[in-house]
Amino acid sequence: MKNEQFYIFQLCSIFGPLMLGLSLIGRNPKKVWREVSFAVVIMAIIAWGFSSVVSYNHYLFVILLLWVPLLKKVLKISYAFTVIAVLLAVVLFMFQIMISQTLPHYTSISSTEYKLYVNLILALLCFVLSFIVHSTHLTIFPQNIEVYSIAEKSQKTNFKYYLVLMMIVLSILLVWIGFLIENSSMYPLSHQVYFASFTFILFIIFVSFMRRLSIDAMERIEAILDKQYQTELLGFMHIIRSQRHDFNFHLQAIYGMLENKNYSDCSDYVKTMVEDASTMNDVLPLSHPAVSALLNTFSEMASLKGIKLDFMIYYNLEQMPCTVYETNKVIGNLIQNAIDEVEQHPDRPSWIKVMILKRSNNNVIKVSNSIQNNMDSYKNMFNPGYSTKEAHEGIGLTTVQRIVSKYNGTIHPEFEVDIIHFIVKIPFKY
């Protein structure tokens, strides 16, 4: 086998380490293996084109750099996480090369075909490990990483430092391993094995350390969010106490008007009371007060904007597997997107309907609102950055989809004439 062919086949064996690198940052290998295969094939074609012009060592680094924008494009993840996944993959790939170079000294077989077989076996091992890492939740970043998107700026800054630290250390490891590979002939075999083993142990320790830092960071962010929701809950309970406190005064006023036979005034007074209390009563059936508080907040917000927000709650979400934070993220993003859409068209009827029910052992959340945009403008609605509103972040539906997918649920839109329905289905937790 020619050296150029061997190097290209060896480069293709990075598929396994790349799958393991992506699983370590929390990606599901079942959902990304096609995209990763596509990226590897593209890089192999580029490598084949370069092989007749420059040597393998010169174009390998350039090819690996090109992987970052390509993977970001096909996997739809941020540059930071893409860079970390690629660095993890390349470090694992370099370990793979070190083993394939060292093992022939123990087997007395040094053909390029043998080295290639060793590479392929190690790549297959990495591929299998990617599924084990994902299924056992041994990822560097915790499953609740989506809280990062709504964290306070100071918390985001702290977490970014962790990401930068990880990139720097992985880059140093990469340079060190590359040095060991390039200068392997300078050291006896026993020293090579020692250096490789020591470096691999350091790599495992570092990954474990960064995993602990990431989990701690997400726990701190969640604690802050929990305090915010507790504040909302206290506000909600204050409203309930206020209603109960005022109830006796309302009864006295009604009794006085009836005694004086002011029936028309009494009727108007009761109507005002009913309208004031109807929104609160609409959201009371939910099992968690924090979700009710969120809906009440949105009701007041919509009212101030002149939007009619109706709740139809036929089920209290007691079998919802999500945390209350995640439930509020799903409902809150859907309602916020609906408010944003309705606000863009003040000349049209301003209304939003929220329906919560259960169907076939699923928690169902349905948010409907009027639209004016062409349906084609919604075809990329689940892509990061998508928004129909100018200067809007466009991360809401992506966050909702991530949370829903975490619990094996679904989210999809349904269109009627000038109406869009977003329907979320999440299986019961029991």
Q: Examine residue 38 and state whether it is found in any structural domain, yes or no.
A: yes
Report if residue 263 sits inside a domain.
no
Which residues, 6+ apart, have CB-to-CB distance to 251 below 8 Å? none
Task: Check residue 392 and give its pLDDT.
Answer: 40
Last residue of a domain, one of 195, 218, 241: 218
Q: What are phi and psi of 248, to 5 degrees?
A: -65, -40
Query: Judging by beta carbons within 10 Å of its beta carbon (0-12, 13-18, 19+), is residue 250 exposed, middle or buried?
Result: middle
* Same domain as 318, residue 191: no
Specify whether 213 is located in the same domain as 281. no
Q: What is the pLDDT of residue 334?
A: 93
| pLDDT: which is higher, 22 or 188 | 22
CA 355 to chain centre: 25
419 occurs within a structural domain: yes
- 166 in the same domain as 27: yes
Separation between Cα atoms, residue 168 and residue 163, nearest integer Å: 9
pLDDT digits (tens, 9 = 90+) for 54-89: 555 555 666 677 778 888 877 777 788 888 988 999
Per-residue tokens: 203: 């790599």
What is the amino acid identity at position 89?
A
Is 287 part of a structural domain of the chain?
yes
Q: Which residue has the higher pLDDT, 351 or 59?
A: 351
- Residue 375's identity, in one-letter code, is M
> Mean pLDDT across the stretch 234-243?
61
Highest mean pLDDT among 139-143, 157-161, 187-191, 338-342: 338-342
| Domains in the chain, number | 2
pLDDT recorded at residue 394: 41
Same domain (yes/no): 166, 284: no
Q: Which amino acid is at 249?
A: F
- pLDDT for res 425: 95
Mean pLDDT of the region 43-50 = 71
CATH of the domain at 387: 3.30.565.10
Residue 23, in any domain of the structure: yes
Q: What DSSP string runs through 70-133?
A: HHHHHHT--HHHHHHHHHHHHHHHHHHHHHHHHHHHHHT---HHHHHHHHHHHHHHHHHHHHHH
Q: What is the span of the domain harbouring residue 410?
A: 277-427
Same structural domain, 17 and 101: yes
- Contact predicate 40/12, CB 8 Å: yes
Residue 165 shares a structural domain with residue 312: no
Whether residues 19 and 152 share a domain: the answer is: yes
- pLDDT tens for residues 121-178? 888 999 999 999 988 888 888 765 655 555 556 666 677 888 888 999 999 998 888 8
Question: Greater confidence, 24 or 345?
Answer: 24
Taking Cα atoms as reference points, which of 292, 250, 70, 94 lies closest to residue 184?
Answer: 94
Regarding whether 283 and 377 lie in a shared domain, the answer is yes
